[in-house]
A and B are shown apart, each in its own frame.
Chain A
Amino acid sequence: MKKNKGFDSSIEKLARTTASKTGRRGFIGKLGAFLAGSALLPLLPVDRRGRMNEAHAETKGTLGREGWKPQDKDPKSCDYWRHCSIDGNLCDCCGGTLTSCPPGSELSPSSWVASCFNPGDGQTYLIAYRDCCGKQTCGRCNCMNVQGELPVYRPEFNNDIVWCFGADNDAMTYHCTVSPIVGKAS
């Protein structure tokens, strides 16, 4: 991952300052509002080449000790650039897409964030990972990516948490994760 330290640092400082001055619910609510607002941004250039060729979902591109080597061709592979900090199942392999939950599941309004480098356009983007909830864990395309992932005492950057807070019916069971873009990080 190509890290943008300045941007990361700014986001971290913002998160830490906000968290220290507000309650947990307020912090998550504000972050959720920020992310909801970001959905109104114009669609950013995303390379979807190769998606039509993927009819199977055998887990591919799992992270090895050699490190993160992102590609921009196959969103159903763990090494697709947007998935740089997903520790879980890709919704794209579970009946959803990169940005939609599988039918019958519930979208969580809360998320953790990471900045991921897109080798297709050489840009780094902030990704707000959302969990789709209310169903048993999907089990397909199980990825363990941890680019920039911080320990649980920095929860907004931690992907070990079941991020189903605020999902309809308080459905706190994890099903899979989507990888929507918040915006450019550089």
Chain B
Amino acid sequence: MTTFQSSRLIGKLALAALLATTYSAFAADAVPSSLGAIGTAKTQEDITIEPGVPADSKRVYVQDPGHFNVTTTVYSIDGKNNNLLGMTDSGKLANLMLSSDGKFFVTSNTTYSRIASGKRDDYVQVIDAQSLKVLADIDIPEGRFLTGVMERLASISTDNKHMLFQQFAPSPAVGLVDLEKKSFVKMMDIPDCYHIFPVPNQGFYMHCRDGSMMHITYDDKGNTKQKPTKVFHAEDDYLFVNPYYSNSTGRLVWPTYEGRVFQAKLSDKGAEFLKPIEIFSDKEKAANWRPGGWQVVAYHKARNEIYVLADQRAKWTHVTASRYVFVIDGTTGKRLRRIDLKHEIDGISVTQDADPNLYAVSAEDKTMYTFNALSGKQTGKVDELGRAPTISLTLDK
């Protein structure tokens, strides 16, 4: 017994000496020497880090900003199997942007040196969609517009070369980031306009206070040319803060608080505004059917179907969750079907494949529910998604 204890002690001392030579005594992340052999035992089974899987058409990302928390969590989810693949940390009210090929995504972040105060630091990260490793970390000026997460207050350009983010204070501007050179370029002055809808050839549109849009083009140094479009909606047509927009087609779908859907086809040649669609009949309007939630609209490009999250609700309840999705034809406005979600839902998105999924996120349930978008049948769910998930993003292709 005594001999055994002595040999164990000698073994521990030898291990401690080995660790001491391997790790700096001041390294905060070093394995503590006091753990000894037990705490660093070699296992019979290999322990590895999952390599991840490439994003497919059913991939979905759910964002949890935690009701204005100092961090935002991005959940990468395999929507085919309702399986959580991994998480990515991002800063306060971070924006999330997906590349056109689904191979990487970008977050724009704000953090503080002392948790919720101290020196502010804004930065952009490029993340590999499979491994979830950081591919690039780019410093930007401390000017991100901090709001409840609005998807299009930051965007990747249609060719994936640039990233654009909105500044509100001290003056309206859009920041230009060169993703290929991994560097910030310039804050570009803009008028009183909001949201960023990229089009080819280094251009984007913004929606302006007077109901028009501004077509802005920029060169590699951030010099801009700006040209307004006509006013396309009335002053009292209040548009939800999270429209649907496709970088690949330029299709913009934008409902109002009262259920009128404005649409546009944006390109580097100009903006074509489509005839507005009324989601609800006069009888339904009289019965108080209105859209509502945080991310209230999705669109399936190949099927030309608009999905709107809605419920019977009083006026001025437009951010309260809804229980139904109305599916309408994107051209005629004809009602195609109504999906009863049977949950209180804050945000929806759809995949772009032939048999699309509809993802419905509930902040109250902290859950993403998966539906077959065509049959309306719930096929799965992923729960325990942070504090208050409100928005989900799917691939554009």
Instruction: Judge whether A66 and B314 touch: CB under 8 Å.
Output: yes
Known: A25-B170, A137-B66, A160-B241. A67 touches B117 (CB 8 A): no
Interface flag for B228 (CB, 8 Å):
no
Interface flag for B138 (CB, 8 Å):
no
Chain B residues lying within 8 Å of A120, measured Cβ to Cβ, are none
Q: Select from chain A the residue with minimum beta-carbon distance to B115.
A: A136
Q: Select from chain A the residue with minimum beta-carbon distance to B318.
A: A146
CB < 8 Å neighbour of B319 from A66, A67, A87, A137: A87
Instruction: Please give the distance in Å from A177's CB to the nearest CB on chain B.
Output: 11
Instruction: Judge whether B313 and A173 touch: CB under 8 Å.
Output: no
Q: Select from chain B the residue with minimum beta-carbon distance to A110.
A: B169
Interface 0/1 of A137-174, CB less than 8 Å to B: 10100101011111111110010111011000111111
Instruction: Judge whether A136 and B317 touch: CB under 8 Å.
Output: no
Instruction: Please give the distance in Å from B333's CB to the nearest CB on chain A.
Output: 22
Instruction: Please give the distance in Å from A17's CB to the nearest CB on chain B.
Output: 12
Instruction: Judge whether B316 and A148 touch: CB under 8 Å.
Output: yes
Instruction: Judge whether B147 and A173 touch: CB under 8 Å.
Output: no
Interface flag for B116 (CB, 8 Å):
yes
Interface flag for B80 (CB, 8 Å):
no
Q: Select from chain A the residue with minimum beta-carbon distance to B387.
A: A139
Chain A residues lying within 8 Å of B195, measured Cβ to Cβ, are 152-153
Interface size (A, Cβ < 8 Å)?
47
Interface flag for A23 (CB, 8 Å):
yes
Instruction: Please give the distance in Å from A31's CB to the nearest CB on chain B.
Output: 13
Known: A144-B320, A160-B147. A25 touches B194 (CB 8 A): no
Chain A residues lying within 8 Å of B146, measured Cβ to Cβ, are 161-162, 164, 172, 174
Q: In the assembly, what is the distance between CA of A20 and CA of B212, in Å?
A: 14
Instruction: Judge whether B117 and A151 touch: CB under 8 Å.
Output: no
Chain A residues lying within 8 Å of B69, measured Cβ to Cβ, are 136-137
Q: List 30 A-B contacts (CB under 8 A).
A: A24-B170, A24-B171, A24-B192, A25-B170, A25-B171, A28-B169, A63-B320, A65-B311, A68-B314, A88-B67, A135-B117, A136-B69, A136-B116, A139-B67, A146-B319, A149-B319, A150-B238, A151-B241, A152-B241, A153-B192, A153-B193, A153-B239, A154-B209, A155-B168, A160-B148, A160-B150, A162-B93, A170-B120, A173-B112, A174-B146
